[in-house]
Amino acid sequence: MPRVIELDRQSEPVGVEECAEAIAKIGFDARNEESLLAVAAQLQALGSNRMFLGDRLVELLAGTDGDGPDSAYSPQSIMLTAPRDGFFLRANIWPCENDSCVRRSGAHNFAYGAPHDHNFDFLTVGYFGPGYRSDYYEYDYGDVAGYFGEPVELRFIERSTLSPGKLMHYRAHRDVHSQLPPESLSVSLNVMCCDPGQGWYDQYAFDPDRGTVGEMLSTGSTEVLLRIAVAMGGEDATGLAEHWGRTHASDRIRLASYEARAFACSDDEAREEIWRQAENSGSLLVAREAAQMRRALG
């Protein structure tokens, strides 16, 4: 499960800008214990400031936060800083299951009951309310190819709550959690790692009941742009997709290359031939996904 961090002393409250400046000077490197603890102390200090988030929300609602970062991140996240120096700060709002937004939109829109890992490290602290609950698991990322339905050993650790002031380190490609609504509205604060290379590493949804990989969550703009380009019928785009399907270093991009070509086909016979080629591509991820697509065609 995520590592619980207990610091020797309580930090004095700081504001968002002061916190961000301090973290930038420290350098957020989750692999370095000294850096990790120093950044955790800054997040604790921000969490000790009981006024800043209410003030920021008023500014956002009044439209007076012209110099702040774009707040749109997800239906429940507020960007407190823009990405810089390999990190950014955010606040996450966690409604309870009786709140009207959950009843209207559904729990899935707030990531409740959706077991997943992360392809980045981040720190979190309980800021307001009783805190969301999570079922925590661990798994071995290196043992997973990532195809839908792949068996995976998910080791259940415990169910616990991100209570006020609790500091945790979510470890990339190791910690899996299924979040559950808090007893009442809650807020957490995060320091998020944003390494430009992390997009090439996969993030997964899981099915703990079956012990399998669900869907891949880390689809990026490269896959989307490739599908659009091939769908528009350009020979160069099709040629690029054929080349990437055979040679790209990322199995996820290789799979997207075959998908783009298959979806652009006008008949099932041509589509099946592309998936047959994919089965012999030399990638376990691509081969297993291609076999499933051929069975669906059959």
Query: Tens digit of pLDDT for each residue in 66-80?
Result: 555 555 456 688 999
The predicted pLDDT at position 67 comes to 56
Task: Report long-range pairs for 24-29 (Cβ below 8 Å, ≥24 apart).
Answer: 24/84, 24/85, 24/87, 27/85, 27/86, 28/85, 28/86, 28/87, 28/191, 28/193
Stretch 39-66: mean pLDDT: 87
Task: For 83-138, write each residue's pLDDT tens digit.
Answer: 999 999 999 999 999 888 888 888 888 889 999 999 999 999 999 999 999 999 99
pLDDT at 75: 60
Give the pair of three-digit tokens for residue 136.
Answer: 């925590």
| Cβ proximity of 173 and 17 under 8 Å | no
pLDDT value at 14 more than 60: yes
Report the sign of the C-alpha dihedral through residues 40, 115, 136, 130, in that order: positive
Pull the structure tokens for residue 27.
Answer: 């350098």
Q: pLDDT tens across 226-250, in order?
A: 999 999 988 899 999 999 999 999 9
List, for residues 173-232, the tens digit of each pLDDT value.
999 999 999 999 999 999 999 987 777 789 999 999 999 999 888 777 889 999 999 999
**Consecutive H or E run containing 128:** strand 122-128
